Amino acid sequence: MALSDDPASVALFLIHGWGFTPDFWQPVRARLGQVEATALDLGFFGAARMADRPAGRHVAVGHSLGALWLLLNPPAECVGMLLINGFARFGAAEDYRQGVSPRVIERMARGLDHHPDDVVAAFRGRTGITTPAPGAARAERLAWALDLLRNADARAACDAGQGAGLPPIRVLAGAEDPIAPPAMTEASFLGRVPVEWVEDGGHLLPLTHPDRCADAITRMIAEPCPP
């Protein structure tokens, strides 16, 4: 039995990435129609909203940092996770050379102390977005998230799968992603999690390829329910 034959009847739980807000999801939500969705706000440009959760069974969708956060904080009654431009670890380690050098992340963290808006603008430019940030950057929240990106590691949880309390996981990744390149994606999941590649996709698939993202969400909803 599928989670639902009607995607509009299934709740979604959405978590955005570093340097963005819940509005990031609007193009995807528009393509899904009247789907009930709860979106966390990690507080990068205003008050954080971290406590909201969907009522009942739902599919969780995280982008970039939001994908890592989901793996570390699997919500109750989540029956499936879609990780878009996601990874199980971001910062490089002795056994994970495909990650980003801690020096790069630390340089961004130091920049937040004096010029947080510039650090955010530079990062957003690397992702390919041309619109300005939606407000003044909150350095303390951005620094909190950088610490997760530097140190957090969810690879063991992915290895254990549902035995670690995780629901079925799928990944949608960009073959031309400059932030989480294919080598990082492959090293994160080591073939244990199905990865669907968008050949011309970069790091902002929900903005550049909202149809592919909405389709991946709809297909996850249609998958058989976990026991």
**Residues with pLDDT less than 70, the chain:** 1-9, 161-163, 224-227
- 69 within 8 A of 147, measured Cβ to Cβ: no
Coil vs helix vs strand at 198:
strand
The pair phi, psi for residue 96, each rounded to 5°, is -150, 70
pLDDT at 226: 55
Domain ranges of the chain: 7-90+153-222
Q: What is the pTM of this model?
A: 0.94
Q: 188-211 pLDDT, tens per residue? A: 998 889 999 999 999 999 999 999
CATH topology of domain 7-90+153-222: Rossmann fold (3.40.50)
